[in-house]
Structure 1
Amino acid sequence: MKIVVQVKLLTEADQAAALRSTLRAVNDLATWVSEVAFVNDVPREYELRKHTYAHLKEQGLGAQAAQHVIKKVRDAYTTLKANIRAGNLGKEGSKRRRKAESKPIVFRCEAAQPYDDRCLSWRYDQRTVSIWTTSGRLKNIRYVCSAEALKTLQAYRQGESDLIERDGVFYLVATCEVPEAEQYEPDGFIGVDLGMANIATTSTGYQVAGRGLNRYRKRQLALRAKLQKKRTKSAKRRLKERSRREQRHVKNTNHIIAKMIVTEAERTGRGLALEELQGIRTRVRLRKPQRVALHCWAFAQLADFIVYKAKRAGVPLVFVDPAYTSQTCAECGHVDKRNRLDQGLFICRGCGVVAHADRNASHNIATRGERVWNAGRESRVPATP
């Protein structure tokens, strides 16, 4: 299982200038390589290397840095084509899709640059790194991270690390290959219903209301609109200071929720069942005032956190079909759109049971999760005559 560990570089003024100059140089050249790939319609990395490698070397890049620039460009186009095939940029002929297909990809001057072990070396005991730059190799750059992050780096770091810059501060994001814990045989499943009014509701009774987070988002949205309307230097400075604050707050909240859910499953010896919500933004039709809430809903991030924490803890996890989980009675199985009277109230028209709508859905998800798990264990080999 791959996870990333982020460390902060404590750079001197000259070291920061060299790293900043390096990022600008490699990303400017990456934009040039992207134009070459777009104009010549070069489909493969090997062919793109024939067109660009010599020029990159002439511009002062090392052999490994040049290879990484070419690979970064090729990966960007691969991602673009995957998004087009998946319909994430709209249907064929749509304005957004035409815009993406009609021009080459442009890289920001502070975009991440990958480094391998030839361009970057770690000294864990001294907490320093040695890194390649266009001004030469910088040695003994100090970094800081938590004790747990350092332990993970020492034991599991593999592959590339990305150099990024945020608000004038440089970070290294290292890839670590952490072994998954051995899964135990679950004694039942905990269903997890994800939503906007209630961020997460489990079949064991754990529920996280979304009122506080939604209020926080509305307050941040109003504040951003107020600062953007002023258009003064101080307003722009405050907007920059507050950038990504909401993302960090939501990410921290999702980490806490995911940890609580996985810990409960591990403690009780049960597995976890989640809804397969991929593509929900394209399927759901909402009124205009509700669209902002839907697109700010970080359900995919919360699900990803639950998945990787479950793998590290050895908790079995399955995904189930979300169809009609909110309209099905968990007691008698009666399905009716009218069973759910409003966001929070569920009254079955078959047996008359009254329940919280999200909690009823979580019980349905738990039942489906157990069926999926048992179906996966059943033998598909025909019986011997």
Structure 2
Amino acid sequence: MANINNKDAPSLEWINTLRKRFPTEQEIDRILTRKMTNRSGPEYVPMSVSSLVRCIESLLESEIGSDFDIEDAKWLSGGASKLQLSFSLRWKPRNDEYEVHPLVLRMEPAESIVETSRLREYQLIKAFEGVVPVPPVYWHDAEAKHLPYPALIYGFAEGVTKPAKAKSGVSGLGTHLPSDLQKKLAPQFVDHLAKIHTFDFRDKGLTAFDIPEVGTTQCAEWGINWWERVWEEDCDEDVPLMRLCAAWLRDNLPVLDRASVVHADYRLGNFLFTEEDQCITAWLDWELGRIGDRHQDIAWTTSRAFASFSEDGKTLMTCGLMPESEFLAQYEEKSGLIVNPRTVHWYKVYNDYMMVALTLGTGYRIAKGGKTHQDILVTWLMGIGYMLLDEMRSLIEEAP
């Protein structure tokens, strides 16, 4: 705890102490270590579109040569964690005629509310092409050799995250869908999750992922080590309930029965659909994805934070689409996998712990340090952390 008052300029000794104390996946360790070693560096400084385009040009020249043009570059709004710039690329992807593709640059700020790997995000999206709807992904600059911060470039997918007339809160929370849309989207929603969890991920180029050992608690240990390390790195407030929760999670670690790809943010608001035919066209935000326990997704998707009531106001609908019992029954039928309620409950506590670490710990740290382009939003999100703490307490009290 010697560095408790110097987390804005952590020593290499303290960083290495945390690495040894909280062992996790190699790529997660790399990005968290990078975050800490860069923390004493400069604050986030807004950059011009033209300067960023020059960086994109450098990346593309290394990938496809110089025969291309970038047009219509502009910032995209929204998102608490990443900077996004849209542009059109005029190039010859098939070495014959020029084509124009609408693309998006997705890039870290100086420090994000959630530090993740652009390489892992790139590999996951690439692996799921043709399995579930995903946007096309093209290139990455995971080491920031060309761009100011790590980034990837992916293509636009058609669709919307909510009906044109629907109202919602931040990140799609509180979206109410009409019943006819629920009936069309719900089967696709369950089917895609089943396909993700039963996907044979081996030999699919997921080199940035470690695979936890089935029949052990390694997967859960890696997870809690990840987020307890983040809490220790970023928090400036002693919250006894966080220490109690970490201890409870370690005392009740679930055994992994099957290793699956976990999306880790599978919910309403993170997929696109077309309003005319009501088909899901792309799953977004794979940045927290891991190879782990499918129950993590089940716990996240069935969270009350993403639920809404049916039109009659009587039935709580999972992600605004269907009753939880129906969701779980359809999932088991389509995936052929059993849902263990005790493991789901553990991951509900785990998910809350993660979100408190990000809101009360990381959100505070990056806003205080001027490291993010979304300082107002992440400061607002800190208020949610205390509600999550109370939910976490209740879940521990109710644990089977």
**Greater fraction of residues in helix:** 1
User: TM-score normalised to the size of structure 2?
Assistant: 0.20
Structure with higher Rg: it is: 1
User: TM-score normalised to the size of structure 1?
Assistant: 0.21
